[in-house]
Structure 1
Amino acid sequence: MTSETRSGRGASLVGALLERRYRVDSLIARGGMSTVYRGLDTRLDRPVAIKVMDAQYSGDRSFVNRFELEARAAAKLHHPDVVAVYDQGVDRSPDGDLVFLVMQLVEGCTLRDVIIDRGGRLPLPLALSVMEPVLSALAAAHRAGMVHRDVKPENVLIGTDGSVKVADFGLVRAAASAGTTSGSIILGTVAYLSPEQVTTGAADARTDVYAAGIVLYEMLTGQPPHVGDTALSVAYQHVNDDVPPPREQVPDLPAPIDELVVRATRRDPAQRPENADAFLAELRQVRTDLGISLVPVPVPAAAERTQQMASAGDPPTEQIPVVRDAAPRPPQRTRAMLRPNLDDDEDHTHEMAAVPAARQRPLAERSRGRRNVALWTAVVLVLAALVGGSAFWLGLGSTVQVPRVVGQPEAAAQRALEEAGLSATITREHHNTVAEGVVISSSPKEGSRMRSGGSVTLVVSLGKPRVPAIAAGTTVAEAESALRNAKLKPKLDESRDQYHSTVPEGRVISTDPAPGTPLDISSEVTLIVSKGAPPVHIPNVRGMSRDEAFMTLRNAGFEPYEAGRQFDSGIAGDHVISTDPAIGSEVRLVGRPRVGVVLSNAVQVPDLTGVSVEQARQQLAALGLTLNVNAFFQRPNMVIFGQYPLAGSQVEPGSTIHVTAF
C-alpha cells in the first residue's frame, strides 16, 4: 500500500489544489519518505516540483515542526548548484493532512540515470565535472550551518542544460525527529552512511564529506565500496572496514585521485577534509595538477522525464538500528528488535487475572451491573447533546461581519479582526501602488458574514518588487527564475554581455538595474552575461631568440610550438620572424591556446679577409654556403682580400659567397 493510499487522498491528489495555490499535475517519482509530483504555482504561474511526505509523517507534530524549520533553512540556500526551495505547507482536509514541499522543477534526470546509462563507471573528467558542483552545493550548506545527511546519486539532479544540483537538504533530519523513529534508529541510505552515523547517529560536515567520497568512488569504479545481503551487513562494513583504494578496481586511475578518495572516506572523521569547502579545494588542486578540464555533463537520451528523487528501484532512505558495539561480529547476529512496553504487559496481566473472578459473580449481580452501565451511558449522551447544542448557539453557531481592513496597515487590520472575533491568515504579494505592509484585499470581503472564530485571508502588500541580489556565477536559468519569482521580467541582450576574468562563460555577472532597485511589476531587468575570460593579445616576439620567445608566450598563457622556418634578411637565424595567429591578434584564453612560431633560417656571412682560399671554402661549407674565387692568376695558398656579400650579412642557406684573392 502506498503512502498516498494510506492518506486517503491518493486517488484524487493529481488535479488537487494544495493550500488553494499549488495544482498537482502528474506523478514524477516515489521514494522511501515521499512522493514527488509535477505541479503549477497558480499564483506565480510557474511550474514547480511538489514533494508530498509519506502519510506516517503528516500526523506527527514533531516532524511537522522540524520539517518547517528545515524547509526555511533550505530556502535560504541561494546557490546555483542547490535545488531551490520555494515554499512548504500543510494542506488540511477531512481525508487527512498532507505535508508538502514546493521546489524548483529540474528537467532532466538523476546522477543514478547517468551512471546506469554509462554502464556503471564514468570517465574521470566526467566524474570530476559532477563532483565539483556537488561539493560546491554542500560547501554552501556547511557555511550556512546545515548538514545534508543523505548524499547519494539519487539526490543529485542533472538538468537538460548540463547543470548539476543537489536536492533534499534537511529532510532526513526532519524525519529523524518524528515519533516514528527513536534514539536507537538512524535514517539514511546504507551504502553511503558514515561510520559515525552507524555507531552514534551523529552527523556533521565530515559526514557529508564521507558520503560524497563514496559517491565519487562509485562513479569511478561502477559500484559502492561496501555491498552485502542486508542493510546491517553493509553498515558493519562501514564501521569495521576501510574503503579500499579505487585503483584496486580501476588500475589506470591516477594516484592523486586514489589518495583523494581514500582521504575523504577515512573511518576516523578527524582524518577527512573538515568540510566540503576543504574537499572541493583538494579536488580542484588535483584536477589542475593532472591537467584535467571540466566537461559537459550529459543527460541520457532515454531520460526524457523530470527526476526529483529516487524511483521505486533506487536505493531508499531507510531506518537502520544504531550499531552500539563497533566491534566486528557476523552480520547475522545483529538483530533489530522493538522494545516491549512493560506497562501494557502489566495491564494485560491484570485483565487476564480478572476474568476468573468475574465468572464467580452471581448472575443477578452481573445483570444489575449491565443495567447500571446502560443507564449512565444514556445520561452521558443526553448531557453531551445539551452541551454541544449550547456551544453551537452560543459560540460556533453565531456569525459576525467582516470589518473593513483594506488599506490598513497589517497590525491594525489584525487588531480589527480580533475585535470582531476573527483571526487572520496572511499572504503577501507585490503591488505597484499599495505601500509595503498595507492590506491589499481580504477574503471574505468587507461586510461578509462568517462564523465567529473564523479566519480571514489578508493579502498584504510587499510594495514594489525589488531587483533580487544574484550572485556572480549564477546560471542564466537560475537568475531568470529569481527575477520571475520577484515578479520581474528577465531580459537577455548580447550587446550588453561582457568579458570577465573569473565568471565562466554563459554565467551571470550582474543585473541592470542593480540589486535592490524598486521597479513596477513585470518591469524588465537585463542580465549581464559573461563572455568568458577577456581575449589576450599575442605578444610581439619578432626578433627574439627561440627560447626567449617560447618563455614569453608561455608566461602570457599560450602553448608555443615551432611552425617552420623561413628566410628573412632582417632576422638572424634561430630568431622569430612571425607567429600564427599573428602577433597582436586577440585570442581567447580557453585552456592554453597553441601559437605557432616561425623561425629564421638565415645564415650570417663570416669575415673571410686574410683567410686562405682553402680555409674559407671549408668554413663556408660548414655553414651550408659555397665559395666562388676571382683571381688574375690561380695559385696555391692564395689569400682573400675582398668578399661579397659583406661580412655580417644574412643570406639564405646554399648561397654563394664571392671573394677576390691573390
Structure 2
Amino acid sequence: MDERGLGLIGALLEQRYRVDALLARGGMSSVYRGLDTRLDRRVAIKVMDARFADDQTFVDRFEREARSAAKIHHPNVVAVHDQGVDHHPGGDLVYLVMELVDGGTLRDLLTARGGAIDLPLAFAIVEPVVSALAAAHRAGLVHRDVKPENVLIGHEGEHGTTVKVGDFGLVRAVASAGTTSSSIILGTVAYLSPEQVTTGNATSRGDVYSAGILLYEMLTGVTPYTGDNPLSIAYRHVNDDVPAPALTVPGLPPALDELVVRATRRDPAARPADGAAFLAELQALRAHLGIPRVGVPVPEPTLADRTVPVSPVEVERARSWTPPPSSDAMTSDATSDGGVLEIADATRPATPVPALPAANATIVRQIPAGFQAAGPQGTRAMLRADLDQLSAQELGPPSLGTPPPQLPPPHLSGPMMMPPPPRPPVNRRGRIVLWSLVSVLVVALVSTGTWWFVDGRWSTVPEVTGLDLVTAQEKLADSDLRAEVERVPDNTVEAGVALRTEPASGNDVLRGEPVRLIVSSGRPKVPDVREGATLAEAQDAVRAAHLNPATDDGINEYHDSVDKGRVIRLDPAGGTPMNLNERVEIVVSKGPEPRPVPDLRGKSHDEAFAELQALGFEPVDLEPQYDAAVPGGYVIGTDPAAGTVLEVGQKVGVVASNSITVPDLGGKSADEATSIVAGLGLQLQVQEIGGRNRVLGQNPAASSNVPPGSVIIVITTI
C-alpha cells in the first residue's frame, strides 16, 4: 500500500462514512472497506480518481448512474447505498457507497483453481451473473464491463454463499467524462463485444456477449482471443468468430458449445436478446444435460497475478527516454485488480513510445502463443482510430512484394583494395517501359483488391420467408451463405416453413459466413414432465417449450405417493398443442391428505399400532390408565382423541388399560389363593368362618377388572 492509498485511511466522508482500509485500486478508482457511522453498517466505498472530481459532466452522469443502479433490488446485484462528493482538503472526492461482500472475486477463484472450473460450478456462477444482468436489463440499465473482476463471491448467512455482480453503470459514467471522447473505446478488451469496439454502442446483447466470454473462460481457463496488444485483441472480436469451448477442452457437451457460440456471435441480432433470454437458455440447458446444482466456494482475496518485478535500472532507463516533440505520450496505470489502461488522445506517435513504469512497476510474463492469459483484466480506453488503422493494415490490398534489403557498402581496406568497376550505361527507354508495366499492374491489383474488399467478398442475404426448409437452405447456398437452422415454435406457421433469417434479408454478409435460418416447429407443445419432478424442473421444461409456467395453491392436490412439493402433473397434459407463452398450470402435491385419528378403544396394543401405521401416523405409548370396562393391555383411548384430523406423519399417543382381571378363587385353599393373587399384583384378605379351609366366596367377583394393588377378600372355612 502506498501513500496514495493510505491518504484517505481514517477520513470521514461527508461526516458519515469512515474509510478503514484499502481493498483494491485501479486506474479509475480505489475501493475501501468502511463503516457507515450513522447506521453502524460495514460498507464498501469506491472513491473515483481525483481527475474526475473537477469534471461536472462526469459528476452529473455518475450521480444519475448511481441512482439507476440503486433501483436494482436483486440478490445477485451488489446493492448501491449512497453516492456523493466530499470536499476533502486535498480536493473534492467523488465516491460511491456499496454493499460490502465478504469474500473474493471470480478472478480469485479461477486463479485458485488453475484457470478452469468444472461444468456444475461454472453454471452455479454464470446463472446468478446472468440473472443479475437480466434484472438490470429489465430496469433499462446495461453493465458494459462484465468480467471476472466484477463478479464477487461472498459468504451469506451462517453457511451459505452468494454470487453478486458489481460496478453497474460505472463505465458509462466514465465514458461521459471530459477526460474521454467519442473516439475512445472504453471497456475490458478480453470481453468487449464487437459493436462496443466498432461503434461504442453498449446494449443488453453486448452484456450477453461478455457473459458468454465469461462462461468460455470458466470452462477453458483462457479467453478466446490473444494478440500483441489490446487493439489487436479488439480487432479479433470484430473479425473472428469465438471458437467452441470443446476445441480447447474436448469432451464438453455439443449443446453447451452451441450456446456459448450463439451468445458470442458477432452479429448482435443473432445472440439472445437480453439477460432474461440468455438465462432461460442456460436453465433449459441445465435441465437438458442434468447438470447438478452445487455450492460456490468463497475464494480468498489475492493480490497475486502473473507479474515479475522490474529492476530499478530498467525503470530509470525507461524514465530517461524522451518522446519526439510532435508525439502524444501514451500513459498506463496497470493494476493487478483489473484497473484502467488509457491510450491518450487521437494520434499515435510516429515512434513507438515505451511505457514509463513506476519504481515498483511490473511487466507481464510470456504466455503460450494462441491464448489470452486468464488473469486480471483491466478496463481499457483505446482509440477507435487506432483500430481503424489496424484494420487497414490487416485488410489492405496485397503488396507487390517486399523491397530488396538495403545492404551497407562493403568496407575495403589494405593493399589489395581495387577501384570499383565503371557503371554500365543506363537504358532510360527500357526503364520507362518497365515502370509503365509496373504501374498498370499496380492499378490492376489495387482495383481487384478494392473490389474484393469492398464488394466481392460480400453476399446479400436472400428473402426466404415462407419457403420450406430445403428450398430455403438451397437459396442461401446459392448466395454462398451457410445456413444454421434453428427451430422455434410459431402459433400460425406450420412446422418446417422458414420464418426469417438473422441477419435479415437484404443485409450484406461475408461469403461463406453462417446465417441463422429460423424455421417454424409449429405450435409449442406442453412438455412431458415425470410425476415426482421438482417444481424447478417442471418450470424450466415449460419455459424451454416457450410456454408460461403457473402455480397456484388452489390447484394443488393431496397425493399419497408423490412427496409434498413435487409435481403431480401438468394441466393441460404433456403433448397438448398451445399458443406461445400460453399458461400451463403445474399441479403440485400437498402430500397425503390429512385424516382423522381412528377409534381404537378395546383393541389390543398390536392391533392399534398396526392400524395407526397403516394410516401414516407414528404411534407412541403413553402412560397406562385404569378403566374398569377394558381388560388390561387393551386400548382405552388416544391422544389426540379419536376423530381429530391430523397430517400424515404426525405422532399419535396410545393409552392402554392397566386393569387386572380378578381370578376365580372358589375351592382354593387360603395358601393357593394367596399365591395366585400375589402373582397378579393384587393383595388377599382372608376371613375364616370355620370349616375345611377352602374359599367359599370372594369380593370383587371373579372376572371383575380392578386397579393394580387392589385387595381381594375371600371367605374360607376351617
How high is the TM-score relative to the length of structure 1?
0.49
Q: Which of these two proteins has the greater Rg computed from alpha carbons? A: 2
Which structure shows the higher helix fraction? 1
